[in-house]
Amino acid sequence: MRGKRNHQKRIEKLLKEMQRERGYVSVPKSYVARKDPDFMEAYNKLYNIGLRAGKALPVKVREFVAIAILAYRGREVGVYEHMKRAIRHGATKQELMEAIETTIIPGGGPAFDTGIRALMRIEEEGQKRNKNAQRPSGSGKSYKLTKEKQGGT
């Protein structure tokens, strides 16, 4: 019984760490963490080495690289999540726009469109949050943003 409890605590700790670092945990990664925590701990370590600040590149620049590759691969959800992470690490929307603009030559129109759609989603959500924040309190309406987590890296 004690071993099972420790196993469950280990999984929950791993998922919390992933959530804190990324801002989300995709359904497939949550599944694997529960089924094979050894594998997901190794993956998480590699993820952190690749996307945390390095010796020369800050997190936001590393995120620009991830965003460009994900856009090229057509992974809009991944682009969106990594854009949000880049913003949390100091990136501006203008920097994100320029990172996506850079994809048009090596990646073509589809990569560019994927990135722009993700950026548009971030801007739309920001506008909705601003509108909701400006509502007078006690309006009787409650607004909750929800999102689907299906991918990423």
Domain residue spans of the chain: 1-52, 53-133
What is the value of pTM for the model shown?
0.74
- pLDDT score, position 86: 96
Range with lowest mean pLDDT among 1-5, 26-30, 46-50, 63-67: 1-5
Host H or E run for residue 40: helix 37-51
Query: In the CATH scheme, what is the code of domain 53-133?
Result: 1.20.1290.10
d(CA 86, CA 57): 13
Encoding tokens for residue 115? 């990135």
Q: Is residue 136 over pLDDT 70?
A: no
Range with lowest mean pLDDT among 34-43, 45-54, 116-125: 45-54
Q: Is residue 39 over pLDDT 90?
A: yes
Q: Is residue 139 over pLDDT 60?
A: no
Map tokens 């094979």 to a residue.
36
